Amino acid sequence: MRNESNEKPYFLKRVVAYLIDLILVMLLSTSITMVFINTDNYRNRTEELMNLTKSYSEGKITKEEYSAQFDEMNYFVTKEGVGTSIVTCSVSLVYYVILCYFCHGITLGKYIMKIRIVGNNDKKLTIGHFLIRALLVNLILSNLISIIFVSTMNQSTFVSIYPKVSNVLTIFLLATLLCMTYRNDGRGLHDILASTKVISTKEKKIKEEVKEEIKEEVKDEVVEAKVIEEKKLSNKKSTNKKSTKKTGGKK
């Protein structure tokens, strides 16, 4: 039987929050890119790639022809999109790491869905925890790898290596979703590696209220113990005085 405070009940909320944050980051990145970066070549390459995919889906070219042309076009699309990827990485780092840290584990999506990131076992989180988490599930690592690979490799090397790395990252994301779905605590691989978990803000509030109640109870018990001790001391003094009177002050 699962505990009511586990993370699995918040799975759908986490997915919706993730999509809200992703849309926001994409909008911000696109806006900045349109102002500061010339993306004409990138759009043209992307359009060529889309036309190639359309031709294959309509049966105008064979699978072999599609695969051969896709690898070449994908390389140039990635190369022309380096500026866009840099902007996306920068915005993602600011949003998912810096702002999330200073907002105590809450993004806009998480705020709307009333959930937040906290340390596992109530561990205090640092920027490093949020960085590890963001690198793994917020497309930052994927973008960084594509930037490094396309900037340092020729076409043939990129085509042979990058798809394999991309597949590994995809498998990692799928494994993370499975962990979030089937683990009792609902933590994904990114949560495990970053020592984090996601909880309801209502749950956090309840826990804080319980802690306050416990503190108050302990405080009352301490006060009561002091009162009892003072009464004992008072009774002892009173008994000593009576004993002294009976003996006339003699020992």
Distance CA 100, CA 90 (A): 14
pLDDT of residue 183: 86
pLDDT at 233 over 80: no
Residue 240 belongs to a domain = no
Mean pLDDT, residues 71-95 taken together: 92
Residue 84 belongs to a domain = yes
Which residue range(s) make up the domain with 96? 8-200
pLDDT at 97 over 90: yes
H helix runs in 58-139, sequence order: 63-80, 82-93, 100-102, 108-113, 127-137
Distance CA 128, CA 132 (A): 6
pLDDT at 217 over 80: no
Residue 147 belongs to a domain = yes
pLDDT at 167 over 70: yes
When pLDDT is cut at 50, 70 and 90, the band that residue 1 belongs to is very low
Neighbours of 70 (CB within 10 A): 16
Most confident of the following: 64-78, 105-119, 201-215: 105-119
Residue 209 belongs to a domain = no
Residue 222 belongs to a domain = no
Please answer whether residues 121 and 28 qualify as being in contact, where contact means their C-beta atoms are separated by less than 8 angstroms: no
Residues present in the chain in total: 251
Residue pLDDT, tens place only, 126-165: 999 999 999 988 889 989 999 999 999 999 999 899 989 9
pLDDT of residue 172: 92
Q: Looking at residue 103, what DSSP letter applies? A: T
Residue 141 belongs to a domain = yes
* Domains contained in the chain, number: 1
**Structure token digits, residue 62:** 């064979």
pLDDT of residue 193: 93
Mean pLDDT, residues 70-97 taken together: 92
pLDDT of residue 131: 95
Average confidence score pLDDT of the chain: 83
Residue 98 belongs to a domain = yes
3-state secondary structure 174-191: HHHHHHHHHCCCCCCHHH
pLDDT of residue 240: 58
Residue 214 belongs to a domain = no
pLDDT of residue 112: 93
